[in-house]
Amino acid sequence: MKVIRCHDYETCSAQAAELIADRVRRKPDALVGFATGDTFKSVYARMIQDQKDGKIDYRGIRTVNLDEYVGLPPTHDQSYRYFMDTQLFNELGLDPSRIEFASGMADSEVELPRLHKFFAQNRVDLQLLGVGVNGHMGFNEPDTCLHASFYKAKLTDSTITANSRLFNSRDEVPRFALTMGMGEIMMAHELLFMAFGESKADAVRQLLADDKVTVDCPCTFLKMHPNVTVFVDDAACKAL
Ligand code: GLP
């Protein structure tokens, strides 16, 4: 595991955007797995700017995303599809046919087998990962067991509370999401993990301070992946 600790969020984001650009220069049709959340906003803004500046052309990539809330349509401003469309995809001018995304509105009994088939036929080249305050990735929440493949996850109280900052009230936060499973995350050729701020310090401590892998903190599974780069700022390292 390669750990890049930067003083602040913007320095980390610049280096992470450079890593993504490097991988796409080497493989212009790479399948890139994206993540939502505040963590990646600056990275995405930099990717858009790099393309505008002619440093890289992202229009050849294919994409897949980690997760989507159940019950939110892509037009809802808190759906993850809306986030990706507005923060990245539209600005890059990606062809919709190159974008794979879980539907929060489809019947999950139909949607999940469709997504399983996608992962049986495709392997992600570079998967971006943020982390929840309790160590979740995508919506793989701490539990007695984790899931290998895309599944319908029940959000924990801690995640509902953390994500309620983006909704009008806590009641509006969806209780379920479709999320890539841990096995699909671990199958990616390369992982780029980012964590910023003191609220992520405990998850970062569990990831970096020792050799333990535990279902109580799903991001610790990254210790078993052969090709991971971790970007953390000073605040996220506070418990180390
Ligand atoms: C959500 C997403 C995660 C994300 C996490 C942290 O729960 N499902 O994929 O990593 O939030 O978000 P943020 O980057 O806003 O801290």
Q: What is the pLDDT of residues 30-41, one digit of tens each?
A: 999 999 999 999
Per-residue confidence (pLDDT) for residue 196, from 0 to 100: 97
Helical ranges in the chain per DSSP H:
9-26, 41-52, 80-84, 90-92, 108-121, 157-163, 182-186, 201-208
Per-residue confidence (pLDDT) for residue 226, from 0 to 100: 98
Is 134 tagged catalytic? yes
Compute φ and ψ for 231, nearest 5 degrees: -110, 125
pTM for the full predicted model: 0.97
Residue nearest to atom 2 of ligand 1 (CA): 138
Is 147 tagged catalytic? no
Is 163 tagged catalytic? no
Q: How far apart are CA 29 and CA 36, in angstroms?
A: 21
Q: How confident is the model at residue 87 (pLDDT cuts 50, 70, 90)?
A: very high
Q: How far apart are CA 32 and CA 21, in angstroms?
A: 11
Helical ranges in 85-229 per DSSP H:
90-92, 108-121, 157-163, 182-186, 201-208
Q: How far apart are CA 59 and CA 88, in angstroms?
A: 11
Is 67 tagged catalytic? yes
Per-residue confidence (pLDDT) for residue 190, from 0 to 100: 99
Average pLDDT over residues 90-100: 98
Instruction: State in Å: Cα 159 to ligand 1 middle.
Output: 9
Asked if 141 and 156 count as a contact pair (C-beta separation under 8 A), the reply is yes
Q: How far apart are CA 104 and CA 108, in angstroms?
A: 8
Residue nearest to atom 5 of ligand 1 (CA): 132
Catalytic choice (50, 65, 67, 184)? 67
Tokens of 39: 């963590």
Query: For ligand 1, is residue 13 a contact (CB within 6 Å)?
Result: no
Average pLDDT over residues 185-199: 98
Query: For ligand 1, is residue 159 a contact (CB within 6 Å)?
Result: yes
